[in-house]
Amino acid sequence: MDKNIRICIVGGGPAGLSAGMYLEKKGYENYTILERLDRVGGKCWSPHYNGRRYEMGAIMGVPSYYAVHDVEEFCGITHDGPKLNRNYKNARGDVIEPFEPKKNILKIPRLLKMKKQVKRLGELLETKYKGYDLNGHRGVSEGRYEGFSQQNAKREPVSGVNPHLKDLALPFSEFCKLNGVELIQDIWIGPFTSFGYGYFDEIPAAYVLKYLDFQTCMNFVKINLWTWKEGTQFIWESLNDHLKHPARLNSHIEKVERKDGKVYVTVNGEVEEYDKIIVTAPLYIPNKRADGQVGMVDYFDAREDEKTLFSKIDYERYDVLAVETKPEDHPEISYYVFDNMVPEKLGRLMVYYRRWKDTKDQVITTYALRKHKDKAEIDYDVCKKMVLDDLKTMHNPATNVVNEWSVYYFPHVFSKDYADGWYEKVEAMQGKYDTYYAGEVMSFGDMDETAEYSRELVERFF
């Protein structure tokens, strides 16, 4: 492709900024990144409070976040944040140690069985489900894999046929039952459901295992985590500062027309001409959001195939509160509440974080899900009250809500559409209308998966 083509990138989150970086590395410098907000970073949002930054979005990474490490190297930064730790409480607010045999004598048989099933899953993923951990989803519903290995930072191209990969379209709970490893859900649920990615009886196993591949999940278990002193947003702020063409903030895209081999973008009342466009912003948002955010199909000259496929996308309603407490009520550590990570406890507090250990003059952040595909969605204000009530139950009552966020979160499709080849159909459209689709839904909703998909998109098409 001509290195001088004009490329428009929609979105200044991890996916959009990474696309700019990888294009630049490959010699494409005629790109423009348009961001509708007054900041970069997307769901990596790290506001300031009392002289320090806390996290309203992404919190941490692991050593297998190779794309994030690419950004660190590009910018000359590193993961220099506070060391995280955690404990557990039940729904009554009692501290528990669910994985410690000495504290759960009656559960020793279950814990031993769980340990065997974790080992079994690791073996199955390496053999029966070879190719499961490639970034993105192309080929999975057809029983094949195609992409770049995630075993190490080299990310060498791999491909093959494996009919068993079709099992990844099943909801994760069914996938576990099929393979006789139901108990591993007790471990995978912490960094999945409490991080806002839905419930195991509704989300296809592909999403769970491409995000929490065996290596990544074991890093979470061992608390082998990366954090950044200035927050995850700092990663993307740094990248934006190092790009030859930083994102243009407060860019309101009113219309996109694709005709005669050109892409015409009306932004802030002015028409700009490009040759190609990469969309890392939402492709479709069902229902009207209070913040006015819309999907690509609402401002593009969307074709029927785009409308039909993208209308299958749903997303999670995941709410975050940053709250103050009295010093004597400040939690001594972060807590997970496993009892509340089930559909029956929709809207309840699942996890709350204390980021800074050396002071109590900081906020703690709380997280709750209020949507399941088979249940009535819980109203935002109802959920907020439930979370604040739960903090009282946890013996860490809030005195004030400093910040709150209900963001468009984890776009995905459900099992039927996944099995019917949704991803293969969308991948077949890449470049069709001088348009390329990237961002969360094309891989997964964490910062590394979205950045890695942008890397692969550039490798494949540019």
Residue ranges per domain, the chain?
7-47+239-313+414-461, 101-221
E strand or H helix that includes residue 409: strand 400-412
DSSP helix/strand/coil, 253: strand
Question: Looking at residue 104, what is its pLDDT?
Answer: 76
* 67 and 448 Cβ atoms separated by less than 8 Å: yes
Cα–Cα dist 175/406, whole Å: 30
Amino acid at 307: K
Structure tokens at 182: 């139901």
Residue 342: predicted pLDDT = 97
Burial of 342 (0-12, 13-18, 19+ CB in 10 A): middle
pLDDT value, residue 343: 96
The answer to whether the beta carbons of residues 324 and 284 sit under 8 Å apart is no
Measure Cα distances from 319 to 197, 326, 358, 387 in Å.
12, 23, 26, 10
Q: Tell me, what's the pLDDT at 209? A: 97
Query: Count of CB atoms within 10 A of residue 223's CB?
Result: 12
CA distances to 49, 179, 234, 380, 436 from 41, in Å = 18, 38, 8, 24, 20
Given this model, what pLDDT does residue 98 score? 87
The per-residue pLDDT string of the chain (462 residues; one tens digit each, 9 = 90 and over) reads 899 999 999 999 999 999 999 999 999 999 999 999 999 999 999 999 999 999 999 999 999 999 999 999 999 999 999 999 999 999 999 999 988 877 778 788 999 999 999 999 999 999 999 999 999 999 999 999 999 988 888 899 999 999 999 999 999 999 999 999 999 999 999 999 999 999 999 999 999 999 999 999 999 999 999 999 999 999 999 999 999 999 999 999 999 999 999 999 999 999 999 999 999 999 999 988 888 899 999 999 999 999 999 999 999 999 999 999 999 999 999 999 999 999 999 999 999 999 999 999 999 999 999 999 999 999 999 999 999 999 999 999 999 999 999 999 999 999 999 999 999 999 999 999 999 999 999 999 999 999 999 999 999 999
- In CATH terms, the fold of domain 101-221 is Guanine Nucleotide Dissociation Inhibitor; domain 1 (1.10.405)
Q: Say if residues 370 and 346 touch (Cβ distance below 8 Å).
A: yes
pLDDT at 107: 84
Confidence (pLDDT) at 412:
98
For the entire predicted model, the pTM comes to 0.96
The answer to whether 4 and 27 are in contact (CB under 8 A) is no
405 three-state secondary structure: strand
Residue type, 392: K
> Residue 101: how many CA atoms within 13 Å on its side-chain side?
8
Residues 6+ apart with CB under 8 A from 300: 255, 256, 258, 306
Under DSSP, is residue 161 helix (H, G, I), strand (E, B) or coil?
strand
Q: What is the spatial distance between Cα 59 and Cα 46, in angstroms, rounded to a whole number? A: 9
Q: Please tell me whether residue 102 adopts helix, strand or coil conformation.
A: helix
Judged on CB neighbours under 10 Å (0-12, 13-18, 19+), 362 is: buried
List the beta bridge partners of residue 48: 53
267-305 residues labelled b (16+ CB within 10 A) or e (exposed)? beeeeeebbbbbbbbbbbbeeeeeeeebbbbebbebeee
The pLDDT of residue 1 is 83
CATH code linked to domain 7-47+239-313+414-461: 3.50.50.60
Question: For residues 248 and 32, is the Cβ–Cβ distance under 8 A?
Answer: yes
Q: How far apart are CA 131 and CA 327, in angstroms?
A: 49
Q: Give yes or no for a contact between 316 and 69, defined as CB atoms under 8 angstroms apart.
A: no
Give 166: exposed, middle or buried? Use CB within 10 Å, 0-12, 13-18, 19+.
middle
SS (H, E, C) 294-328: CCHHHHECCCHHHHHHHCCCEEEEEEEEEEECCHH
